[in-house]
Amino acid sequence: MNLEAVRAIYKFEMARARRTVTQTIISPVISTSLYFVVFGAAIGSRIQSVGGVGYGSFIVPGLVMLSLLGQSIANASFGIYFPRFTGTIYEVLSAPVSSVEIVLGYAGAAATKSVILGVIILITARLFVPLKLLHPLWMVAFLVLTAATFSLVGFIIGIWADGFEKLQIVPLLIVTPLTFLGGSFYSINMLPPPWRTVALFDPVVYLVSGFRWSFYGIADVNVGVSLGMTAVFLAVSLAIVWWIFRTGYRLKT
């Protein structure tokens, strides 16, 4: 493996993050803090606890996932789309760099930025609510797996999109609604039985549930199922990326 090539792409993308720190770090942290204020004050006064956990603390994992999913997709999609837009992607494709190394560089940088953001949000959350972390290793595992999976999703979107407006279609119309419906701010057990069944078809439920379990030991679905579904999402994303490079979809034209 050409580690120098991976490092070059990775360092370039991380340098871009430093130039846009307001957009990639500060803005999501401020938005998440506003969620704490609004939901903690408005809803927290009516819902004292969920599963024995204070409501403000209960929504922390969901808020982290909300930011993590959005930023992973945004960072990875823009990271690969901009070289396509400017034409510099052909320099990368013509270099002695494999598809694996390209994906590691771009998606790895996007995942790193998302993990850093997630950690900052967790630190910020401590200013608003008490946090309890029962399974720190599992928390890191879910954090990294989710960031990696949705960075690959963002990479796919960046390849698929043929305009800047299309970069926003999937996050705004699909990912964000799924996140809000996936138990980020509530337990799906609070839903009526028919809607509870529908919620189980939302992939974000498994991500949020597993991540929340690592903090408080409570989950809407079995943690093994959450981990398995996360692995399935990752495998599907890898398969699609493999197909893109195998066929040259939107890369060779």
pLDDT at 252: 67
| Portion of the chain with pLDDT greater than 70, in percent | 97
Question: Residue 225: is its pLDDT beyond 90?
Answer: yes
Task: Read off the pLDDT of residues 129-180 as tens digits, 9 standing for 90 and up.
Answer: 888 899 999 999 999 999 999 999 999 999 998 888 888 888 888 888 888 8
Asked, for residue 253, whether it belongs to a domain, the answer is: no
Q: Which domain holds residue 69?
A: 3-247
**b/e 100-125 (16+ beta carbons within 10 angstroms → b):** ebbbbbbbbbbbbbbbbbbebbbebb
* Cβ pair 196, 188 in contact under 8 A: yes
Asked, for residue 252, whether it belongs to a domain, the answer is: no
pLDDT at 44: 63
Q: How many domains does the chain have?
A: 1
Asked, for residue 175, whether it belongs to a domain, the answer is: yes
pLDDT at 240: 94
Structure-model confidence comparison of residues 205 and 84, the more confident one: 205
Q: How much is the pTM?
A: 0.90
Asked, for residue 146, whether it belongs to a domain, the answer is: yes
User: Which parts of 87-222 fold into alpha helices (H)?
Assistant: 89-94, 99-125, 136-160, 166-170, 176-181, 193-199, 203-216
Q: Of the ranges 39-53, 208-222, 237-251, which is most confident?
A: 208-222
